[in-house]
Structure 1
């Protein structure tokens, strides 16, 4: 059943890609980069990051999206939760230098304050340089939870509703452009 859903998702992914204005990163490892990105104007509450970067409404950020169908296909054969987490961590770590290069070479580089992502996979993200913030608006948090739920269900072999609900609380991940460059500049 899981393989069937992944096959359907694989077919629908190009349509999703077009509708969301996502862009593949054009670095030397494009085929290996787990992220697809797009510029966005921030609409949440004001945030101050640990390096002093202040992010407020309408600031320009690069929104990062995991290429979920590709990631799920790779994780499909892995049974161990620890091994899955390690694989995701490694994929993100390998891909962040491409994100840094993309921002550095972007025509709006001077305006971009950092990167933002929304995820239910926040464990270990601080070691990668991200800062975690809760989504304060309850309706938006619920909407994000609902959109992440299929990914969560497809990525687990231990289907426990209680466990899935507990593990799938979405949150923001932020990293300033300066911190991204400091850690991941090639």
Structure 2
């Protein structure tokens, strides 16, 4: 049964990635995350470093590559290392078009504790229905794509918004390194 669910989710995931036009972060060593650019449409948000995200600002949205995640070591320390690598790759490409206009990067994830350790501002999702539906989806993916022999937390984890400013991203990839 789990194989059928995994197959269906895998096909759905591929369709979403293709339809949304998500691309892996350029020059990433792991291709652990997708990124896409868009204009922010929500209410103003102030990040912990003082960056203010306003309507019309160019932001990037992170998405985990669920298929890639299945083949990687997903221990807590490994996920931290993977995120650091993706932030370094993004920091190196954020200096150039089309990524040079990015003011911040945003994602919704159950892995918000790991994101917070890398400088992300973590916020509760204001829309309760969206929070529960997104959390359900993320938990289904998390349980479906986990390695078969890996013990995982079976409880439902609520997703949270994670934001990181351009300045914080650049700290992960100082000029001339990487």
> Which bin holds the TM-score, normalised by the shorter protein?
0.7 to 0.9
Q: Which runs of 5+ in 1 are unaligned?
A: 76-82
More helix by share: 1
Q: What residue is the counterpart of 2:15 in the other structure?
A: 15
Q: What residue is the counterpart of 1:78 in the other structure?
A: none
State how far apart, in whole Å, the 1-side matches of 2:68 and 2:45 are: 31
CA distance change for structure 1 residues 26 and 14 in 2, over 3 Å: closer, same or farther?
Answer: same
Map 1:95-110 → 2, pairs under 5 A:
95-107=86-98, 109=100
1:99 Cα deviation after fit: 1.4
1:18 Cα deviation after fit: 0.9
State how far apart, in whole Å, the 2-side matches of 1:90 and 1:159 are: 20
State the Cα RMSD in Å.
Answer: 2.4
Aligned length: 171
CA distance change for structure 1 residues 176 and 159 in 2, over 3 Å: closer, same or farther?
Answer: closer
Establish whether residue 63 from structure 1 lines up as the match of residue 52 from structure 2: no
Decide which of 126, 129, 136 is 2:116's aligned counterpart.
126
Q: What residue is the counterpart of 1:79 in the other structure?
A: none
SS in 2 for 1:142: helix
SS in 2 for 1:64: strand
CA distance change for structure 1 residues 145 and 44 in 2, over 3 Å: closer, same or farther?
Answer: farther
